[in-house]
Amino acid sequence: MLGLLLAAAQLVAPVVECRFDAATFEFAGTPIEQARCLLRHVEPGGGADPEQELPPTLAGLIGQPAIVDQGRLAAVLRHRRIALPAATPVSETLDHRRAIYFVIHDTSSPWIGANPFPHDFDRQPRFSDVSQFLGKDAVAHLFNDRLGRVTVGHDLEVGWRATKLERTIGEAVRGRFLHVENVQPRREDPSGPPRNDRIGPTPGFTEAQYRTLALLYVLASSRAGSWLIPAFHANIDRGIPLAHDDPPAWYLSSRQALGAALMRARDFSDAEKSYREDLERNPESGRALFGLQAALAAQGRHREAGALQKRIDRAWRAADVTLGDGGPRWRPPQ
């Protein structure tokens, strides 16, 4: 039976831009080359930007062994009330090939028609409601709402399909992909067809969602044993008719979110690298400076951490939000 399923998978595999091989259940290229294709920026309506170089810290992780302090990770999950184990395996296919893809979706809901997005909608309960997607056939493994709260649809050990590619190939590929739905409301584009849902908010996702997504990436990779290949849903299905268009409007620095997640996992050296890479592109980013200071302090490098304080104060002098990255805070040593 397994042989028949694998043979059928090769016969029905659709042609997609990132070139999925139905014999190996992998996209073409090295893990880094796959990620470059699968993480192309998604434009409203589903178009894709050209490939770009990955952030160096992320590029240094993908495909490598994921060595994470599981005790610390479990504590973070408890603190965040995320009902997932830190150490059990991830899903695998029928022929025992484990999950290697971390798929980023958006819910494209609620849809509000031609209305503008309300003021402060991120804190309105209906804009974080995922109840329609849950149940025994929940559409994804995990759901990440506008406040960064996690609802579990399936444990990561459960094989689940949530893309056209997986559904077309069939049961043989179930278990190769892990799916996270991030809540993003949509509205109608007046220049498009009736009842379209092309327009999302700007920014498309909240900082709380990015931080949570980075934590879930660390969790999934730790359970898989190696750093997974992240992918946008639209790029997995690109080339299949009526493919999805999510997630558009991916604007916040992934380096900052990754740095915060690495801090939570107590990988302070790699967190420092991630924040420094962000500062190379955004030299006075208040959040990157704050994260770098925390990463330096966690390594006992208090003189370097303290030297950043004037830059941090200058970057945040007009801010009206509270800093916090989930990791240790710098304090002048006594």
DSSP per residue, 160-224: ---SHHHHHH-GGGTTSEEEEEE---BB--TTSSTT---B--SSSS-HHHHHHHHHHHHHHHHHH
pLDDT of residue 256: 74
pLDDT of residue 251: 55
pLDDT of residue 27: 95
Element (H, E) at 234: helix 233-237
Residue 238 structure tokens: 């690109």
Q: Which residues of the chain register pLDDT less than 70?
A: 1-13, 249, 251-254, 282, 316-334
pLDDT of residue 328: 47
Task: Phi first, then psi: give them for residue 291, nearest 5 degrees.
Answer: -65, -40
Residue 9 structure tokens: 């998978």
pLDDT of residue 242: 80
pLDDT of residue 325: 43
Residue 231 structure tokens: 């992918």
pLDDT of residue 13: 67
DSSP one-letter code for 132: G
Interhelix angle 254-264/286-298, nearest 10 degrees: 30
Residue 312 structure tokens: 């941090």
Cβ neighbours around 145 below 10 Å, total: 22
Distances (CA, A) of 258 to 57, 143, 234, 327: 8, 19, 22, 12
DSSP one-letter code for 140: S
pLDDT of residue 5: 47
Residue ranges and CATH numbers for the domains of the chain are 2-252 (3.40.80.10), 256-315 (1.25.40.10)
Per-residue pLDDT tens digits for 86-98:
989 999 999 999 9
